[in-house]
Amino acid sequence: MGLKEFVKKSFSKSPWVVHYDCGSCNGCDIEVLACMTPIYDMERFGMVNVGNPKHADILIVTGTVNEKNKDVLKNVYDMMPDPKVVVAAGICACSGGIFRDCYNVLGGIDKVIPVDVYVPGCPAKPEAMIDGLYKAAQILKEKYSRKEVIVSAKSLG
């Protein structure tokens, strides 16, 4: 196995997840945290929660996008390395939810960044989120198989 194949395989098997709250009621945020408890244990699928978007492969977003946080969400998305996958968790992130008619709400996060997986619910249940994250991992694997991963000697040493 060559170096490029090794890098592709290793990145596609252990996606790192970062969570960003756009400003929700925190119901979905609590359920995201529940995904990391021993009861649901998203790490059994090889997914690890990270605090820095520069290290993440999957972005899970909760809450609605509004005029104040749209640029922050876009910056978080732009900090992530390619390829990346976005999961909209909860009905607020999917479509704006009960806040969709508020004067400063743009709607779902797909108004600002591209979304790969939608997980509806108010709040979205941990089982649904883990299913969405599993689908996101499959999409990430497909994106890695299409992308030519180039590793330079400079990055190795």
Structural domain including 83 reads 15-137
Residue 123: inside a domain: yes
Give the pLDDT mean for 31-49: 86
Q: Is the pLDDT of residue 146 over 90?
A: no
Q: Is the pLDDT of residue 153 over 80?
A: no
pLDDT at 3: 64
Give the pLDDT mean for 79-108: 90
pLDDT at 7: 59
Q: Is the pLDDT of residue 99 over 60?
A: yes
pLDDT at 65: 92
Which residues are registered as beta bridge partners of 17? Answer: 49, 58
Residue 82: inside a domain: yes
Cα 64-84-77 angle, rounded to 5 deg: 45
Give the pLDDT mean for 99-115: 90
Residue 7: inside a domain: no
Q: Identify the CATH number of the domain in which residue 125 sits.
A: 3.40.50.12280
Residue 150: inside a domain: no
Cα 140-151-116 angle, rounded to 5 deg: 15
Residue 52: inside a domain: yes
Residue 32: inside a domain: yes
At 95, phi and psi to the nearest 5? -140, 0
Q: Is the pLDDT of residue 66 over 70?
A: yes
Alpha helices in the chain (DSSP H): 3-13, 27-34, 70-79, 91-95, 126-146, 153-156
Number of domains the chain contains: 1
pLDDT at 77: 95
Give the pLDDT mean for 25-43: 87
Residue 151: inside a domain: no
CB 64 within 8 A of CB 108: yes
Query: Out of 26-40, 54-68, 95-109, 134-148, which region has the weakest mean confidence (pLDDT)?
Result: 134-148
Q: Is the pLDDT of residue 32 over 50?
A: yes
- Contacts of 110-116 with CB under 8 Å at 24 or more apart are 111/65, 111/70, 112/65, 112/70, 112/73, 112/74, 112/77, 113/73, 113/74, 113/77, 113/86, 114/86, 115/86, 115/87, 115/88, 116/85, 116/86, 116/87
Residue 156: inside a domain: no
Predicted structure pTM score:
0.83
Give the pLDDT mean for 115-129: 93
